[in-house]
Structure 1
């Protein structure tokens, strides 16, 4: 089995680690030892970065972008290693230049990787062999899609961050159900299953909305209230805010790391 080392065992790194158990030999390192030891059932916890680098063929960079410096990248640079980064805003040219290899891929997954239900954007400029490996890895925790790296900021807004927006919608809808008289557990169950029902519908979402909204009915009354209160515009702005944040991080990383 391929040997994969994880630098960073936080929420996103941990979700991927859990999904890969049994398919790869996993090695774990985090400066916060509590985080790596919390995942000890999924991989071998190592005490130093050097141990992880010497034990692994593929290095997963799963730390926050502000922790990625020139010194950090030079410290993990090793001949023959392959690298995958899930850090937002750190572009391929920055990684390739500092790691001195083309065998680098960027992933943008979401937290549902833990349940093997993520959709993950993949970008790499490496050879076909490494690209195939990268896609195989990304497919291990859900669906993998190849996109041009210039669209990573858009993908973060419409997937990586959007999953939190959807969960916020579910949470708020469940609380509305509580206000209407349901217990919170029952309301949450109803809302979750309604979202599953919506996802089961084929065709364009707007076409399905039209089918559900009868004239002067209950649904159209609710849809009108959503729009009167800026529902669609709020979503547009939320996606754009996430996209712009990724853009800002990428700009800073180019200034500081190239």
Structure 2
């Protein structure tokens, strides 16, 4: 189920970020840039002071430790690496209260694992976002835990819809979501880089080739979203009989282009599943 993009979040909403790495900063910056949350209502902590220095410029409150983030925030976003999650949960266990909603964006770490390391009945939601949230074009997937209250999922979906699109569904799909949209921006960046390299090989200036490649990727994606047409049909509309595009598509097929992308998504999905089977703290 997709969530519509909201016009506004509650003025008094307080968010906390445990972790200020690339994904945490992308979500935090995206929410602020979209005007959805006031910087003063956001608290952040990261043990890496360089990360904190990077996010400080957004105007957020720098908390003294992870427990301080929890105490200041209704919604706490765990934006740390999967192997760090159990360490953080044990650290904040004593300060988590019923008014806190814990939102994890860590790949592979299951809701059951998170709930077992927090007080009974803690409200937990897993989300798999991606970094384009920074520019309000993210793609996120939300899955609720066993103790969420009415309205929790809708509000978290609103938060992530404010920086892109958001789907809500079963946790079993999260590993595949991780392989597709969570890791997906990297595949597109690699494609844009390769397209730009191709343009440079054929004589285009590097900066021009990169702009044209990026705009082409963005435009093609927008065509899929806004027309609702199958990508194969849109591809066919570009491929004139005996033309340049069908010649290019033939070469891509010979190179295993589509198969390689499918394999990439499978590999990322399997890696997410592997992370989920490791023991806490392993």
Which residue does 1:84 correspond to in 2?
Answer: 103
Deviation at 1:199, TM superposition (A): 2.8
Deviation at 1:82, TM superposition (A): 1.4
**Alignment check: 8 A CA contact 1:37 1:45 kept:** no
The whole-number CA distance in structure 2 between the counterparts of 1:151 and 1:210 is 30
1:206 aligns with 2:236: no
Tell me the secondary structure at the aligned position of residue 150 of structure 1: helix
Task: Name stretches of at least 5 consecutive residues in structure 1 with no aligned partner.
Answer: none
**Alignment check: 8 A CA contact 1:61 1:84 kept:** yes
Tell me the secondary structure at the aligned position of residue 60 of structure 1: strand
Which residues in structure 2 correspond to 1:91-240 (within 5 Å)?
Answer: 91-100=110-119, 101-125=121-145, 126-201=148-223, 202=227, 203-240=229-266
The whole-number CA distance in structure 2 between the counterparts of 1:67 and 1:170 is 32
Alpha carbons of structure 1 residues 129 and 10: separation in structure 2 relative to 1, 3 Å: same
Deviation at 1:247, TM superposition (A): 0.5
Deviation at 1:102, TM superposition (A): 4.2
The correspondence for 1:51, drawn from 65, 68, 71, is 68
Larger displacement relative to structure 2 (97-106 or 242-251) = 97-106
Deviation at 1:211, TM superposition (A): 2.4
Tell me the secondary structure at the aligned position of residue 76 of structure 2: strand
Residues 164-216 of structure 1 show CA distances to partners (whole Å, capped at 9, x for unaligned) of 10111011000100000000111112112222332343311111222222232
Residues 61-91 of structure 1 show CA distances to partners (whole Å, capped at 9, x for unaligned) of 100001122x431221212221001111111
Which residue does 2:9 correspond to in 1?
Answer: none
Task: Name stretches of at least 5 consecutive residues in structure 2 with no aligned partner.
Answer: 1-11
Which residue does 1:20 correspond to in 2?
Answer: 31
State TM-score, norm by structure 1.
0.93
The whole-number CA distance in structure 2 between the counterparts of 1:97 and 1:196 is 41
